[in-house]
Structure 1
Amino acid sequence: MTTTRRSVLGLLGASGALLATGAVAGAASGTTLSSTSVDVRAFDRFVREQAAADAFSGSLLLVHRGRPVLARSYGRANDAAPNGPDTRFAMASVTKLFTAVAIAQLAQAGKIAYTSTLGTFLSGFPAEIADTVQVHHLLTHTSGLGDTFTMPGYLEEALTWTDADQVMTGTTDYIRRTSLEFAPGAGSRYSNAAYHLLGAIVAQVSGTSYYDYVREHVFRPAGMTATDFYTRPQWHTDPRIAHPYAKQPSGGRTDTIDQRLYVGTPAGDAFATCADMANFAAALQGSKLLDRAFTGITLNGKVPPPPQPGPPPPGGTPGAPHAVFQCYGPVTLLVGGQWVTGHGGGAPGTSTDFQMYPDTGWVTVILSNYDYDGGPSPVVKKARDLITA
């Protein structure tokens, strides 16, 4: 399906509500909710304007101290259905959080040490990788490994794979043939390859497939009943799954399912609803997936990311983080005196964002089947600015 701005506007439908009766009045008027002043009405109006301008398609959910405050859906999931609260979205790199929790569970059980080297669990890697790359490096993007999707020939071959075992073993084989860009711990580069290997470690240590382990030990105990690793054929045919509509140079958008793997990997493309991600936040912060100590180990900052090009933003710039740290999975920012911990994801036709605000009790889930130039959508930025103002 190829859409233009005119055709999408003709299809646009908004569904959703301000939720939780006790919170509705405050949310709608922009007044204080449980001692935290956030203008939810202004945010709701902003999202509506973005959707009307064909700048947002997807679903979002704002939760405050366990209570849903705002739920909205706009645009089309696919030819058969509009986006709605039950729409499953490809999560892109937000999937890395599930992989990180699986690793932490095995570490909590004493089956993995964060200082263990890759060669302890996986064979076939050259000694410079097997004996030096630690689980800690894989989790913090400091391993020296890069991005599977930029490896010569990878995507062309990967698009021909037709089962989950091919995706896992084939991707691991490509990473085995790569080399380190820097000594582990001596630099930082965002690495899909690293998180794929973490999933391979989960499979090796647990004695089951990565997918089955995460279903049984992450999705199920978190109450994520709609979340799964759906296959590309399911993506094509299941009306509950949002198709990825990628922006084209012409200005229209094109369905790009056939540019995605047969099934997602430990680095990306599990599918989830907004409500399931809110359940994940509650289970993770409530120590239902990990005990309190390992929850802290997972969510606390470990290393700062590398400096970004250009001058740093002034400390007084609204929404500018004062500190940024990579955790074991999430990224945590200090913005306006609040810690913001979560992950975003992006791919052609996909933009996802999941954030927890432990100081004030907010959780935001913003899932879109549109992609955006230069990073997160304006809706994601607006939500963070309002909550941290």
Structure 2
Amino acid sequence: MTAATTPTPPTPPSPSTSPKPTTASRLGRRAFLGGLGTAALTAGVTWASMSTGVAGSASARRPPEDLSPGGAFDRFVAELAAQDRFSGTVLLAHRGKPVLTRTYGMADRQRQIPNRPDTVFNLASVTKCLTGLAVGQLAAEGKVTMDAKLGTYVGGFPTDIANATVHQLLTHTSGVGRPALGGGMPPTWNSVDETVDGTLAIIKATPLQFAPGSRFAYSNDGYWVLGAVIAEVSGMSYFDYVRRRIFAPAGMTRSDFHTKPEVLARTDIARPYWTQRNGERVDFTTTPIFGFTGGPDGGAYSTAADLLRFALAVDAGTLLDPAYAELVTTAKQPVPPRPGSPADEREFAGYGFHEFIVRERRVHGHPGSGPGTATNLDVHADDGWVAVVLGNYDTGVTDIVRRERQILTGDR
């Protein structure tokens, strides 16, 4: 195979101007993954029928045997599950068609309910892709400008916080919010409104960590603030906006934002098993720090198949004009290397999405983690692959993602 040309991380476009994608960028994202949009999930389309007219080097990159059922990747995940290091669902799809779907472990140990392909998992920070896309939709409609200050859209914030821009909030360069590993027992709230209002009140009372735009620091609170922008500009709650403008048009019928009572009552939602220092795993929903509901930073629930629908809908232009899809999914801000990350991998924050350059190939999506939860969405747009990993342990997923990327970005 001819070696891929080394890509240069894209120069961030001016946030206040509409991006103008090239023909090549449209072809790379649309002709491959989403030429058939979400219909590819249900139409039973074969690889042969989907390969007609695919241009560029990716048409020659056949699905590697290592990713087929029974292949090296399948065996690797099975071994992790056999060692009780992974519990959850793995889905690999090529050009819109699932190639490998595997589920392991228990969704609910107490009720002896196993994980299944349609089990619903908390997405953790993969939710940020939804939030970033929502901001992109509003920008495409002229309702939000990326370089506008927060105070343009939402009142009640101190002046220094209100001066942070939408771009800075999206790229974790705003300085807004509590440190990612802030301690202390979270407040007890008993409704969605209490949770939203209470969280925003805490953020408003928290001093900036640094001057907006001066550096990167991952901020969950920044995405709560973006949720407030979405609600104010759209005239509906953040949660309803995502339901109506993302879940519904993408066909994500198993996706929603669930409250604690719903999580406890339903049998199709995986319980998150939180690993303790002694190795024991505790159902996080039974602890006092499991909140009433999550938010724009990490509160969505979904299935592997629905996340595939989401990736295809983004690529097909169902959710967002291709120019703005390119804007939200591509690199804007370098991210410091994660502990143990491969030397040949670089990470950049986009708008909700992160873009990774792995062995000089582009991957966009987002990882997620929390007590008893580990998730990841990878979209290899240039090669037509989508990889989804949803776990209800907080272990194992990083190893799975690294193996998937190693296979998909290696020479073959």
Give the alignment's TM-score, normalised by structure 1: 0.85
For structure 2, the 5+ residue unaligned runs are: 1-43, 48-58
Partner of 2:323 in structure 1? 293
Match of 1:37 among 54, 59, 64: 64
Alpha-carbon separation, structure 2, partners of 1:152 and 1:167: 18
For 2:157 and 2:359, the matched residues in 1 are separated by 44
Secondary structure in 2 aligned to 1:367? Answer: strand
Structure 2 SS opposite 1:220: helix
Q: Which residue of 2 aligns with 1:10?
A: none
The structural deviation recorded for 1:386 is 1.1
SS in 2 for 1:332: strand
Aligned position for 2:381 = 358
The counterpart of 1:141, out of the listed 135, 148, 172, is 172
* Pairing 1:1-389 to 2, within 5 Å after superposition: 35-40=62-67, 41-78=71-108, 79-80=110-111, 81-130=113-162, 132-147=163-178, 155-157=185-187, 160-257=188-285, 258=287, 259-306=289-336, 314=343, 320-321=344-345, 323-372=346-395, 376-389=397-410
**Structure 1 residue 57 displacement after superposition:** 0.3
**More moved, 260-269 vs 270-279:** 260-269
SS in 2 for 1:355: strand
Question: C-alpha offsets along residues 268-316 of structure 1, whole Å, 9 cap, x if unaligned?
Answer: 1210000000000000111111001111111121111246689x965xx
Aligned counterparts of 1:129 and 1:21: Cα–Cα separation in 2: 50
2: CA distance between counterparts of 1:115 and 1:100?
14
Q: How many residues align?
A: 350
**1:325 is aligned with what amino acid?**
F
Aligned counterparts of 1:313 and 1:346: Cα–Cα separation in 2: 19
- For CA contacts below 8 A with separation 6 or more, give which structure has more relative contact order: 2
Q: In the TM superposition, what whole-angstrom CA distance separates every residue of 1:135-187 from its partner, at most 9, and x where no partner exists?
A: 0000000001234775576x431xx2111111111100000001111111111
**In 1, are the aligned partners of 2:178 and 2:206 still within 8 Å (CA)?**
no
Q: Which moved more, 1:186-195 or 1:32-41?
A: 32-41
What is the DSSP-based 3-state SS (H/G/I as helix, E as strand, rest coil) of the residue aligned with 1:377?
helix
Identity of aligned residues (%): 44
Match of 1:264, SS?
Answer: coil
Match of 2:23 in 1: none
Deviations 1:326-380 (CA, angstroms, capped at 9, x unpaired): 111111111123101110000010000001001111100000000139xx43112
Query: Partners of 1:385 and 1:306 in 2: how far apart?
Result: 20
TM-score, length of structure 2 as denominator length: 0.81
Secondary structure of 1:387's aligned partner: helix
SS in 1 for 2:114: coil
1:35 partner amino acid: R
Distance 1:65 1:243 in 2: 31
Q: Confirm or deny: 8 A CA contact 1:349 1:370 kept in the other structure.
A: yes
CA distance in 2, matches of 1:93, 1:308: 15
1:128 positional shift: 1.4
Give ranges in structure 1 of 5+ residues lacking alignment.
Answer: 1-19, 24-31, 315-319
Give per-residue Cα distances to partners, 1:187-216, cap 9 Å, x unaligned.
Answer: 110000100000011111111111111100
For residue 126 of structure 1, report the CA deviation from its aligned partner: 1.4
C-alpha separation in 2, matches of 1:156 and 1:302: 32
**Matched-pair contact (CA < 8 Å) for 2:63–2:94:** no
- The residue matched to 2:157 in structure 1 has which SS? coil
Query: Are 2:273 and 2:371, in contact at CA under 8 Å, matched by a contact in 1?
Result: yes
Q: How far does the alpha carbon of each residue in 1:30-73 deviate from its partner, in whole angstroms, 9 at most, with x for none? A: xx996243511111111111111111100111000111000000
The AA in structure 1 aligned to 2:405 is R
* 1:382–1:173 CA distance, 2 compared to 1 (3 A): same
Partner of 1:28 in structure 2? none
Separation (CA, whole Å) in 2 of partners of 1:362 and 1:355 = 8
Contact 1:146 1:190 (8 Å CA) reproduced:
no
RMSD: 2.2
SS of the residue aligned with 1:174? Answer: helix
Structure 1 Cα separation of the partners of residues 368 and 339 of structure 2: 21
